[in-house]
A and B are shown apart, each in its own frame.
Chain A
């Protein structure tokens, strides 16, 4: 398209920009995350403070989400749990992305390593997800670190596949072959051609890995193989709530669950929006 030659002076179009929704959503999420971070010390204090005068209060003016069996504020505990989930999820997603990138690079090294990595990907994908998670977390003795490593170790395969395919295609691309014939070194090509092309995939892959990591962290903790029951993790809250749900204390399960759902949905939407943005063909639509 030689259209650019005829580009009119670029004009700012604020109204009706289809990306307005995405920008506002991302901004709101960012503000919420920062607020959560700032409120952290106060939250931790409130989440731990028990008040036996105020046990199992229904949601109301003073305690918006109600209180639990020890009279602790459920709003503070939910937010505290989400913060914990965010850290665990972020660490696991980052670790998983790095594993995927390393294995993808290994797969592109030669036909033998490619077969080996392919086998590894298939066998991990073939095993039931949750069982593997439980096994790893259990073997590592539980706790935050174990959960992060377990989630990271089970979540790299699909991203590895994407990155491997992308890398194989890139290496065969005419412009990469030409770069070699211009006398550019392997390192130059990796730094200037390959990595910049993979970065968007890693970013989107990591961001989409994030909600998975959070969900599985919660599931693992819920089943008792993850974070310790003393920590106000979402999984712990949900597990505790089970005992009281039948007695009509619905808020104990509903609010932490909703919080988890919203967080996961928000990051899923953000990841998908970013993927569209980075796909040249879809970006202009």
Chain B
């Protein structure tokens, strides 16, 4: 169980993006998070994945604090894959930075072996996003923060990516926080859905 307790984040003094947010994500659970742009969805995602320290509040994984070193058990998957890879590295190196996915896993994510020798700018956004998602699934990762990972992709690529991720998450009982705009997509993917408004969470119907 990944728990956020009373998390408050403010970029400037006196201005809070998140106001005392508490959230629970169980192993194997898919939770949808929506909200207008600027509502702090991404900020919450970054806090959960340990990219941003909250000003107040705590994060717990199965009742204990999250590790400060080593592989973080909560991994953040970004909207723009181009920014999430070192532009000077070949795809093979990018993919293997966190762990070494097997050929079968690469195939399930539709990653062509020929890509491994290429540079990131030689792949399309959809192709690169599959690499970034598979890279984030290292053994030891238990929760995923999918921050609008398919909002730049066409429908076919989107469906294929979620299907591959879904199979992997089911096999390993990964908990997934799906951040997104598209109600139809969140409805498809998630058992529960919440909305972020004015720094606070509301259950969405």
Direct A–B contact in complex, judged by CB atoms less than 8 Å apart:
yes
Which listed segment binds B: A10-18, A133-141, A170-178?
A170-178
Which listed segment binds B: A146-154, A179-187, A219-227?
A179-187
The 8 Å CB contact of A183, one of B70, B86, B122, B124, is B70
The 8 Å CB contact of A174, one of B84, B118, B122, is B84
Which listed segment binds A: B28-36, B71-79, B166-174, B196-204?
B71-79
Establish whether residues B78 and A174, one from each chain, have CB atoms under 8 Å apart when the complex forms.
Answer: yes
Give the interface SS of chain B, mostly helix, strand, loop or mixed: loop
Give chain A interface residues in 194-233, CB to chain B under 8 Å.
196-197
Is B107 in contact with chain A by the CB < 8 A criterion? no
Residues on B close to A: CB < 8 A?
49-51, 69-72, 75-76, 78, 80, 83-88, 97-98, 118, 121-124, 127, 136, 138
Is A193 in contact with chain B by the CB < 8 A criterion? yes
Establish whether residues B85 and A177, one from each chain, have CB atoms under 8 Å apart when the complex forms.
Answer: no
Establish whether residues A183 and B97, one from each chain, have CB atoms under 8 Å apart when the complex forms.
Answer: no
The 8 Å CB contact of B124, one of A2, A178, A184, is A2
Establish whether residues B97 and A1, one from each chain, have CB atoms under 8 Å apart when the complex forms.
Answer: no
Give the Cβ gap from A130 to chain B, nearest Cβ, in Å. 39
Residues of A within 8 A of B122 (CB): 1, 3-4
Interface size class of A (residues with CB under 8 A): 10 to 19
Q: Count the A-B residue pairs with Cβ separation under 8 angstroms: how many?
A: 50
Bound CA–CA A193/B84 (angstroms): 12
Establish whether residues B72 and A1, one from each chain, have CB atoms under 8 Å apart when the complex forms.
Answer: no
Establish whether residues A193 and B86, one from each chain, have CB atoms under 8 Å apart when the complex forms.
Answer: yes
By CB atoms of chain A within 10 A, which of B51, B83, B86, B88 has the most? B86
Is A111 in contact with chain B by the CB < 8 A criterion? no
By CB atoms of chain A within 10 A, which of B49, B69, B98 has the most? B98
Bound CA–CA A2/B138 (angstroms): 26
Bound CA–CA A174/B78 (angstroms): 8
A1-B122, A4-B122 known; A183-B85 Cβ under 8 A: no
Bound CA–CA A171/B169 (angstroms): 30
* 10 extra A-B contacts, CB within 8 A, seeds A182-B72, A196-B88: A4-B122, A173-B83, A175-B83, A175-B85, A178-B76, A181-B49, A181-B75, A193-B86, A197-B86, A197-B88
Give the Cβ gap from A273 to chain B, nearest Cβ, in Å. 20
Is A280 in contact with chain B by the CB < 8 A criterion? yes
Establish whether residues A175 and B72, one from each chain, have CB atoms under 8 Å apart when the complex forms.
Answer: no
Give the Cβ gap from A166 to chain B, nearest Cβ, in Å. 13
Give the Cβ gap from A283 to chain B, nearest Cβ, in Å. 11
Bound CA–CA A1/B125 (angstroms): 8
Bound CA–CA A17/B66 (angstroms): 55
- Sorted nearest first, the 5 A-B pairs with minimum C-beta distance are A4-B122, A182-B98, A183-B71, A2-B124, A181-B72
Give the Cβ gap from B179 to chain A, nearest Cβ, in Å. 15
Bound CA–CA A184/B122 (angstroms): 26
Bound CA–CA A277/B78 (angstroms): 30
Closest to B124 in A: A2
Give the Cβ gap from A98 to chain B, nearest Cβ, in Å. 22
